[in-house]
Structure 1
Amino acid sequence: MKTLEIKGTPRTEFGKKSTGAVRRAGNVPCVIYGSGETIHFSVPASEFKQLIYTPHSYLVNFDIDGKKELAVMREVQYHPVTGDVLHVDFYRVDEAKPVAIDLPVVLTGNSEGVKLGGKLTLSKRKLRVSALVKDLPDTVEVDVTSLGLGKSIFVGDLHIPGLAILTPASTAICAVRMTRAARGAQAAAAKA
């Protein structure tokens, strides 16, 4: 699993006034919770570009005044008008316990349905999974080689050793849709 290194500054004052001062200084208020003590800190807003605005999922190694913490991002709050990051929640990771995280889906192979003129559509970009940190992959790979026209792959069809998929089994991941060209080819083949 990919990791990022981020330095934070501890916060001792809370409330609207102190939080506003943190944001005016170009920082984002954050919190780490989970097993152990809750830690309130701030991080420069520029540090979050590589964490939030990416399709990848990361474990984050924090250095908060010399104290090391390993966490995953849980929730981000945005300003309703400007879209600026207002607050970020992180969940502390214990190496001996499973962690739940959203992993990006990567489609592999060349679908049979696409070869016949269909269009491959991705319905679910990320899946919620649970595993020990050492067993977490960077992505969830889905092989679409045998996917035919009008067929779909559901979460329940996936079986990945060492990984528990928390997304409901009835959720569609991808499908090959029938296009006009494929319908025309099918009709022409039926007439011949």
Structure 2
Amino acid sequence: MNAIQLNGTARTEKGKKAAASLRSAGMVPCNLYGSKENKSFSLSNAEVRHLIYTPDFQIADINLDGSTHRAIVKEIQMDPVTDEVTHLDFLAIENGKSITVQLPVRIIGGSPKGVRDGGKLQQKVRKLKVKTIPERLVPALELNLEHLELGKTFRVSDINIEGIEVMHAASIPVASVFVPRVVKEEPKAAAASAAAPAAAAKK
């Protein structure tokens, strides 16, 4: 999985006043945890938007003080009025060391069989918590449901992606193809139509 490149600027001053000054200058205060020592730095608003506003999960390579730190976003703080990102916390990651993250769920492939037979696909979850190592991270959990039949459900237990453990109960439904009311009622209507002439003939 490729990493997005970020150019951080070390922060020497801390506190609310210093953070407010950074935000006024179009920068976002950030912290990096989990490395040999915690680091405080800032990123431009443009880089933060590129990192955050995407449907995919992303890894970041943060270039700071001549070194590169591979990390993931751990926490995002946003302004409740403007929805602007006001602070980011990153967690440093290392190959071979397990991490737990939320990955988006993406349905791929053609229409499920049940949809082709008149059903409707309903995706019940948009993200799932998984445990893996950085080398196995993917932008999204891509699930091919072309085989899913009418009235059937795809559950957590059906997910099989090498190196990724889904941290939810196996029975949790991820997506299903349900039978619309109109499809259910068509056989009843047909039966009623067929029964009407027979009833009339008996009179």
Matched to 2:85, the amino acid is V
Secondary structure, aligned partner of 1:128: strand
Q: What corresponds to 2:168 in structure 1?
A: 167
| Number of equivalenced pairs | 192
Distance 1:188 1:159 in 2: 42
1:138 aligns with 2:164: no
CA–CA distance in 2 between the matches of 1:127 and 1:2? 21
Alignment of 1:57-72 (within 5 A): 57-72=57-72
- How much does 1:186 deviate? 4.2
1:99 shift after superposition: 2.3
Secondary structure in 2 matching 1:147: coil
**Which residue identity is paired with 1:62?**
I
User: Share of identical aligned residues, percent?
Assistant: 38
SS of equivalent to 1:46: helix
TM-score by length of 1: 0.90
* 1:124 corresponding residue in structure 2: 125
SS of 1:110 mapped into structure 2: coil
User: What is residue 179 of structure 2 aligned with on the other side?
Assistant: 178
Counterpart for residue 187 of structure 1 = 188
Name which of structure 1's ranges 176-185 and 153-162 shifts more when overlaid on structure 2: 176-185
Question: 1:138 is paired with a residue of what secondary structure?
Answer: coil
CA contact (8 A) 2:96 2:135 kept: no
The Cα shift of 1:190 comes to: 5.9
What is the alpha-carbon distance in structure 1 between the residues aligned to residue 35 and residue 124 of structure 2?
34
CA contact 2:57–2:138 (8 Å) conserved in 1: no
Q: TM-score, normalised by structure 2?
A: 0.85
CA displacement, residues 110-152 of structure 1 (integer Å, 9 cap, x when unaligned): 3122112111121222222222222223322222123222322
Q: Look up the match of 1:36.
A: 36
Query: What SS class does the counterpart of residue 21 from structure 1 fall into?
Result: helix
1:35 offset after TM fit, Å? 4.1
Q: How does 1:10-159 map to 2 (within 5 A)?
A: 10-108=10-108, 109-159=110-160
> What SS is found at the alignment partner of 1:55?
coil
| Contact 1:116–1:182 (8 Å) recurs in 2 | no
| Structure of larger gyration radius | 2
Three-state SS of the structure 1 residue aligned to 2:40 is strand
Return structure 1 stretches of 4+ with deviation > 4 angstroms.
188-192
What is the alpha-carbon distance in structure 1 between the residues aligned to residue 84 and residue 162 of structure 2? 39
Conserved? CA contact 1:112–1:149, under 8 Å? yes
Structure 2 unaligned regions, length at least 5: 195-203
How far has the Cα of 1:175 moved from its partner? Answer: 1.4
Determine if contact 1:2/1:57 at 8 Å carries over to the other structure. Answer: no
What is the alpha-carbon root mean square deviation over aligned residues?
1.9
Distance 1:92 1:76 in 2: 15
The amino acid that maps onto 1:60 is A
